[in-house]
Chains A and B, each alone.
Chain A
Amino acid sequence: EPEVTQTPSHQVTQMGQEVILRCVPISNHLYFYWYRQILGQKVEFLVSFYNNEISEKSEIFDDQFSVERPDGSNFTLKIRSTKLEDSAMYFCASSGGRGSSYEQYFGPGTRLTVT
């Protein structure tokens, strides 16, 4: 069964450093998403991406965040200058379409720890 993959599984970085989280969505999917989950809290939407453009972003997704599809397979989330409160599990997801009949498949996540 096709799956979303993410690397690395765990990233430790110092406050103020830049990090790039990588995702490989399911190959025939067109819509890509990033969500995050701070430990003990709910899963929160960050951004959706389609046709090389951001479709929608949340209030969390400020100027410190950016997304890119650098080639035909990867989808990345960059945090320019990490803060302690960016420590969370970051999930990438992809779907074949935008409507509710299209399930969003989640990757295993990258645990980001900012020290």
Chain B
Amino acid sequence: GQNIDQPTEMTATEGAIVQINCTYQTSGFNGLFWYQQHAGEAPTFLSYNVLDGLEEKGRFSSFLSRSKGYSYLLLKELQMKDSASYLCAVHDYKLSFGAGTTVTVRA
């Protein structure tokens, strides 16, 4: 089975940094993906990790520890447009998603 947990909501101030944690217990694992989803829209790809460590893509970074079943997404220099839901997903040839973390960026 798949068990993927992430916080429900987070609030941060424009320009700040926010870290969204994700823990997982899954029967299969090929990689950990992060998607952004605005309300009523499709998920859009942000970042992925296959091996342990940190991957950096501009203002977004993602970290993975396979032994701990743990990942985080780091959003730096927050902008108002970053207000969205952030989905953690385990890749096992299909994607198994967590429930998503709604991030609200305040001025």
Interface residues of A (CB under 8 A from B): 33, 35, 41-45, 48, 55-56, 58, 89, 91, 98-101, 103-109
Contacts and interface: CB of A to CB of B under 8 A. Distances in A.
Contact of A106 (B30, B44, B96): B44
A100 B99 contact: no
Interface stretch (B14-22, B55-63, B70-78, B87-95): B87-95
Given A33-B94, A48-B93, A91 B99 contact: no
A45 B96 contact: yes
A109 B94 contact: no
26 contacts: A33-B94, A35-B95, A42-B97, A42-B99, A43-B37, A43-B43, A43-B95, A44-B97, A45-B94, A45-B95, A45-B96, A48-B93, A48-B94, A55-B93, A56-B93, A58-B94, A89-B40, A99-B93, A100-B50, A103-B45, A103-B48, A104-B45, A104-B95, A105-B45, A108-B42, A109-B42
A104 B90 CA distance: 12
Given A43-B87, A100-B48, A103-B48, A56 B94 contact: yes
Contacts of B99: 41-42
Contacts of A104: 45, 95
Nearest to B2: A45
A56 B91 CA distance: 13
Given A42-B99, A91-B43, A107-B42, A100 B94 contact: no
Contacts of A99: 30, 93
Interface centre among A99, A100, A105, A107 (most CB of B within 10 A): A100
Contacts of A105: 45
A42 B35 CA distance: 12
